[in-house]
Amino acid sequence: MPELNLSVSKGWIAQRLDVCFDREYYFNPERRYEIDARCAEYVERKLGDLGACFTESNLGRREFIRPDQVLIGGIQPNMILGMLLGAEFVPGMDKDADITPECFAGRPLDELPPPTALVDHPLIRQFDEQIETIRQEGRHRPIPPFFWDASGRAAVHGSLTSAQKFLGASVLMNLAADPDSIIPMLNWITDANSVLVNHFAKTAGIENMEQIHVGECSGCMVGGGQFEELIVPQASRLGETVAAVRFHSCGKSDHLLTAFAKITNLGSLDLGGETSMALVRDTFRPDFPVSMAPPVMLLSGEDPEPVLDWAQRTFEENNGGTLTVVCHLEAQYNLEAIRALASKVSDMS
């Protein structure tokens, strides 16, 4: 039976509330708590009937977001890694933040710091101190970097997606022409993510990690053979050293499904809505958990019918399997289409 997981973006909120997602919002826990509480109250008041929540796309879940939680270093994971490599943080003010691009482009990969040394970086120490302060005060529950709610599910960007962020678009060309030149960066990103996620879980007292979400947003641009050879081992190492993997691929991923199935300790999939659900169920058993997001262009259109057509086709192809429809409400989306989708999911449940 399908379920709906609806989250709300900073861009949508900023059009309706007098809030500013500036640098202090990300680095001052008190300000973060104050603004997040205002946003959460507004979303509950306006969209509570849809079960919506204010969180990052595909990451936090309403049932695990506590009123007393405060996000420490609540920054997209590859931005944290990028800042450890020298990137500058760029707040979005009225939208998601970013970092300066290609922070490691042109530098020899042997200059990458040892992953185990990252816990001594001033930024990581700052987050550690904030976690400890919040824990000692006892008024709030600190949610550490790489986590988004109280569930114990961590989140990182995949090695290929992060490498493209740090080195630029040439990564994809080098992946085809000289893959050996990229593997050291892929390995470093995977090891750094493992070290930092485990470090912050220990610092915040998270004893049992439920899953690790691995957001390989660039993965659909790679052929199935290359993906299996280069990317599956990276995701598998996270499955072995952290927790069961929730693997995310944004775009059409029909050609990667058999490779996904080879990821060690794969716990679930989170896919873009252009992927064939029929092929997903041909590859994975009916009770294997799958999340799928409707295509963006359908949510942005004036007519809700295309979204409903997509949902009907997806539900039929899913054939009763374990399915969550995920939707992150952006400023340009048609709220009427979102409500129609929610009604459709409810009718099928």
Interval 75-125: pLDDT, tens:
999 999 999 999 999 999 999 999 999 999 999 999 999 999 999 999 999
Q: Output b/e per residue, 115-152; b: 16+ Cβ within 10 A.
A: beebeeeebbeebbebbeebeeeeebebbbbbbbbbbb
**Which residue in this structure is represented by tokens 């004036």?**
302
- Structural domain tally of the chain? 1
Q: pLDDT grade, residue 22 (50/70/90)?
A: very high
Rounded CA gap, 216 and 218, in Å? 6
CA distances from 145 to 148, 163, 200 (A): 8, 20, 7
The Cα angle at residue 341 between residues 337 and 344, in degrees rounded to 5: 140
Residue 176 in tokens: 């085809």
Interval 236-249: pLDDT, tens:
999 999 999 999 99
- Residue 251: strand, helix, or coil: coil
Q: pLDDT grade, residue 51 (50/70/90)?
A: very high
Residue 1 has what pLDDT? Answer: 77
**Which CATH number do you get for residue 159?**
3.20.20.210
Q: pLDDT grade, residue 348 (50/70/90)?
A: confident
Interval 249-305: pLDDT, tens:
999 999 999 999 999 999 999 999 999 999 999 999 999 999 999 999 999 999 999
Task: Indicate the DSSP class of residue 86.
Answer: T
Res. 349: pLDDT tops 80: no
DSSP string covering 298-326:
HHHSS-SHHHHHHHHHHHHHHTT--EEEE
- Kindly state the greatest CA–CA separation across the chain: 55
Percent of the chain surpassing pLDDT 90: 96
Domain hosting 144: range is 3-348
Res. 57: pLDDT tops 90: yes
Rounded CA gap, 169 and 264, in Å? 28
Residue 237 has what pLDDT? Answer: 98
Number of helices (H), then strands (E), belonging to the chain: the values are 15, 12
Residue 287 has what pLDDT? Answer: 96
Dihedral pair phi/psi, residue 54, rounded to 5°: -95, 110
